[in-house]
Structure 1
Amino acid sequence: MLAWLGACLVAAGALALYLAAPHQVLVAPGGPRRSFGWAGVALLVLGLVALLNWAGPATAVFIAFTFASLVWTLVPLLAAWLRHRGATDQ
């Protein structure tokens, strides 16, 4: 249970950090990016703490980096696909 909680917190933190990036394509530009950034950092730290309580330090850091990389890889691709799909439907 603690592993899934940590993984979900890390994924949510990575998504929040993606939304804080200036070149993200999910939400309209000019939003509250600074708060997304701080929330993302906080969620990543909380997720890492949960993973550290479940596994050893090397394993927890590896899992956190893996889930963050997974989010930062799939979310832009999904956003581009949805954007392209919406453009061809019109």
Structure 2
Amino acid sequence: MLEINQRPVLAFSASSLRSAKARVQEAWFVEELESMRSGGRPLLCPDHVRQVRLALPAEIAAVELGRGIDEARGEDAKYGFAFLVPIDVPPN
């Protein structure tokens, strides 16, 4: 589970807490989150505090539901994740 400024934002699968902490430090991951918005505000800014913790049962269920939907659509479900905040659709 990734919290940004103490707000649960993203539940995702990882083989261990150590692996999860490493993933949220990867440049591509940070860049992706910095490009997203929620409620018109950036999801992640350089000064925001990121915290990784174990997910709660409901958060795990959200990941598994998302993975099942991706698999049913024939999409890659290797990395299961679920946003726990609304993500703004980028303008076309």
**If each structure's strand is expressed as a fraction of its own residues, which one has the higher value?**
2
Structure with higher helix content: 1
Assess same fold via TM > 0.5: no
Q: Which of structures 1 and 2 has the bigger CA Rg?
A: 1
